[in-house]
Amino acid sequence: MSPDHPLKSALLRGWRRCCPNCGKGALLYKYLKVHESCQNCNQNLYHHRADDGPAYLTILIVGHIMAPLLHIVFVKYRPEPWIMAFGFSLGCIWLSLYLLPRIKGSIIAFQWARRLNGFATDTSGKPF
């Protein structure tokens, strides 16, 4: 089996929600659905196994950003509780909606770059 694909470029393409192979075709549609294959280079994408990983990492990142920020805002400014609840709820929702498809794209790109979960075969089904 040949060596892995370049990881950095694949992760950047996945973060942009583009095909990890060519960087031109769309990786996702309908927010989180993954295309069966790239429309540009015909790279098969159906083998991905992102499962719950993107959601878990999104919650982890959002929690680590918002919890300290919540503490800092409360200690420094002492806003009304309803203002904090409303503001931080919107912040958590917005940050989660922004990060989730990008993290999913990055996880799929990582799997592609490391030839995991069926990505070790090309579009014809033959091993590289």
Q: Mind listing the pLDDT tens digit for each residue in 43-100?
A: 999 989 999 999 999 999 999 999 999 999 999 999 999 999 999 999 999 999 999 9
Helices (H) and strands (E) in the chain, counts: 3, 2
pLDDT for position 9: 96
Tell me the mean pLDDT in the region 10-20. 97
For 41, the token pair is 């280079």
Judged against a pLDDT cut of 90, whether residue 122 lies above it is answered with no
For 106, the token pair is 């990055």
pTM of the model: 0.89
Fill in the DSSP letter of residue 13. Answer: H
CA-closest candidate to residue 109, choices 66, 45, 53, 40: 45
Q: Distance (Å, rounded) from C-alpha 50 to C-alpha 118?
A: 13
Q: Distance (Å, rounded) from C-alpha 79 to C-alpha 27?
A: 42
